[in-house]
Amino acid sequence: METLALLETLSNAFGVSGFEDDVRDVIRPLAAAVADEVRTDVLGNLIATRRGRSPRTLMLDAHMDEIGFIINHVEDTGFLRFATIGGWDARVLPAQAVTIRTRDGAFARGVIGTLPPHLLSADERAKPIPLESLFIDIGAGSAVGVAERGIRVGDPATLAYPFQTLPDGYALGKALDDRVGCTVLLQVLRALAGRTPELTVACNFAVCEEVGLRGARTAAYQIDPVLALALEGTVAADVPGVSGARQVTRLGHGPAISLADRSTIVRPQIVRALERIAESRGLPYQLKAPGYGGTDAGAIHLSRGGVLAGGVSVPCRYIHTPLSLLHLSDVEGAIGLVEAFVEEAHTLVG
């Protein structure tokens, strides 16, 4: 499958943190076709391993989960109350289309209800609506109607925007954080078909990153890597009104190498190795401005006695909102840089 088609399939797949079944079902056969071993662990991480000449292992990680919601109450009138899963900005939620996944794996559509401006006072219009006031409307009319659609307390939901391509290599998707990382990881794994890498390569498609880097923590313990890279869709803010470091990354300037974020300060030898590999092969890259966000590298580098862990990210505008925007050249760039890193990784660990 081409990178664009893969990104579309993965972005559209449902996979709220803790409910990654659907996206994992998309990834598993694609990984199994090229890996020596594929397994799902207790928490739901999908670990695909390609054996190398050495049993020492390079861990590559991308998280499958996306931020979403969980239904926590059904009103008698048929409206659904919900709690958030992961870091939403309450300002962007009103009037958004929603997909709810039932316990049986069916999908129901709805909208996060909001009052029309006609009914709002000037004061109400100036303020964001508090999260606890929001509700989902599925047009059910009663709690019985909700039950008849198979929807119950505990069902997960997410926003419902399909992947779209734009001219000149841009694309929009609901879950580019981190389905773009999953796309890069799958393409790197597929490039290893028919080749034996020096280090064993364990590809972890992680669960529950968005709620505290949880899946990567237990996966790293099992994999016991000597080296690791987290592959992410990261903040790009190269938009009007934002300057300098607050842009974090920029679209179309290549994959972003992590220096330091809120979860880890990357060991300088990893940063230098990624820079050297990119420069020696003429691959584009940029540095992610320090101080923003966090990735699974934060959990992985603290595993056992410590792991050399870095990060390569694809810049995405508007992450943690209904639609993110990226440039496909940065996706291809990330695939190329990570493939090159896999080839040279053994030289970093003696």
Site for Zn ion, rule CB under 5 A? 177-178
Q: Give the residue with the Cβ less far from Zn ion, 181 or 252.
A: 181
Strand, coil or helix: what is 95? coil
Cα-Cα-Cα-Cα dihedral sign, residues 195, 201, 24, 262: negative
Question: Closest distance between Zn ion and the C-beta of residue 308, in Å?
Answer: 21
Q: In angstroms, rounded to a whole number, what is the distance separating the alpha carbons of residues 291 and 279?
A: 25
From residue 331, how far is each of 190, 249, 295 by CA, in Å?
15, 14, 17
Q: Give the residue with the Cβ less far from Zn ion, 8 or 177.
A: 177
Task: Please indicate whether residue 209 is annotated as part of the active site.
Answer: yes
Question: Closest distance between Zn ion and the C-beta of residue 236, in Å?
Answer: 13
Residue 107, both tokens = 């999908």
Q: Give the residue with the Cβ less far from Zn ion, 178 or 332.
A: 178
Q: In angstroms, rounded to a whole number, what is the distance separating the alpha carbons of residues 350 and 344?
A: 11
Question: Closest distance between Zn ion and the C-beta of residue 256, in Å?
Answer: 13
Q: Find, among 334, 56, 345, the residue nearest to 186 by Cα.
A: 334
Burial of 27 (0-12, 13-18, 19+ CB in 10 A): buried
Residues in contact with 30: Cβ distance below 8 Å, sequence separation at least 6, in sequence order = 1, 6, 186, 190
Which position among 209, 210, 232, 332 bears the catalytic label? Answer: 209
Question: Closest distance between Zn ion and the C-beta of residue 95, in Å?
Answer: 25
DSSP 8-state secondary structure symbol assigned to residue 260: B
Q: Using the structure block, give the residue that is written with the tokens 């992590």.
A: 258
Residue 158, both tokens = 């997410």
Q: In angstroms, rounded to a whole number, what is the distance separating the alpha carbons of residues 260 and 340?
A: 22
Question: Closest distance between Zn ion and the C-beta of residue 294, in Å?
Answer: 9
Strand, coil or helix: what is 187? helix
The one-letter code for the residue type at 256 is A
Q: Give the residue with the Cβ less far from Zn ion, 177 or 330.
A: 177
Question: Closest distance between Zn ion and the C-beta of residue 150, in Å?
Answer: 30
Q: Give the residue with the Cβ less far from Zn ion, 14 or 79.
A: 14
Q: Give the residue with the Cβ less far from Zn ion, 20 or 178.
A: 178
Residues in contact with 87: Cβ distance below 8 Å, sequence separation at least 6, in sequence order = 67, 210, 320
Q: Which positions are catalytic? A: 209
